[in-house]
Chain A
């Protein structure tokens, strides 16, 4: 399975993402934001961080970069994409995922491990879990308060496109949404960091199943 990790100025989870993907068996390349081509890969990962200093809105400037046009083409061709934290914000700003991430309801940057419920196992990203499982993943964000209009929220629920929900809705997200899937289930955006939970040495391996499931499915695609 070939994966590319996008690097924006201000990305800070790009190397963690590459480590997590490689640990699961992926062949990983890094792609700079000015590159207009991503190459022939199965998965594009959009990492966390503070792309372009969060200027204007989180992810807004990154969404207009040359590499994001290539990302849209990749997704239009049926390619897989994973956006974590700032990567989720970028995916909503590009329109590849619905909704928006607003300032946390408590106005504070929250950096801790939070309980999540796996809301669906019906995707390459979540097939390694069982729906209803509770896992703990780290979050580290100021703007993770997911919102969308009522029709979009209904569609996400009706089409089983909510991937993860918060056990304790610390940031005020609508319907406790922590991660959502695209209509074709090949794009996942989530605020929690699975790539920070892939090694017992750093506290948790709860994120491993996501990367292993992805590599397993795409290796046979």
Chain B
């Protein structure tokens, strides 16, 4: 089985990289980009039957820093 982990900075945590991308898009002439948040996707190739609970523990312990990041598990 495969799962994608979407890791994003939590709402309210300033994302300087997303801000820089937003500025760049504006400078390129793309109007109306009100905000950009940049995160990452971690693609896991897992043994069949791995529980969502186990995946969540992976996220909590390593894949996301929950002080500043939130995560969403997408099982494919």
Q: How far is the CB of B68 from chain A (nearest CB, A)?
A: 5
Q: How far is the CB of A92 from chain B (nearest CB, A)?
A: 7
Q: Are A172 and B16 in touch, CB under 8 angstroms?
A: yes
Looking across the interface, which residue of chain B has its beta carbon closest to that of A148? B67
Residues of B within 8 A of A99 (CB): 67
Q: How far is the CB of B30 from chain A (nearest CB, A)?
A: 20
Give the residues from 36 to 68 in chain A that come closer than 8 angstroms, CB to CB, to chain B.
56-57, 60, 64
A103-120 interface bits toward B, Cβ cutoff 8 Å, 1 = contact, 0 = none = 111110000000000000
Assembly CA distance A107 to B67 (angstroms): 20
Q: Which of B13, B62, B63 contacts A102 (CB 8 A)?
A: B13
Looking across the interface, which residue of chain A has its beta carbon closest to that of B40? A56
Q: How large is the interface on B (under 10, 10 to 19, 20 to 34, 35 or more residues)?
A: 10 to 19
Residues of A within 8 A of B25 (CB): none
With an 8 A cutoff between CB atoms, is A100 at the interface? yes
Q: Are A104 and B62 in touch, CB under 8 angstroms?
A: no
Assembly CA distance A147 to B13 (angstroms): 9
Q: Are A56 and B63 in touch, CB under 8 angstroms?
A: yes
With an 8 A cutoff between CB atoms, is A14 at the interface? no
Chain A to chain B: the 5 pairs with minimum beta-carbon distance, closest first: A100-B67, A100-B68, A105-B16, A103-B16, A107-B16
Seen from chain A, the residues whose Cβ lies within 8 Å of a Cβ on chain B are 56-57, 60, 64, 92-93, 98-100, 102-107, 145, 147-149, 172
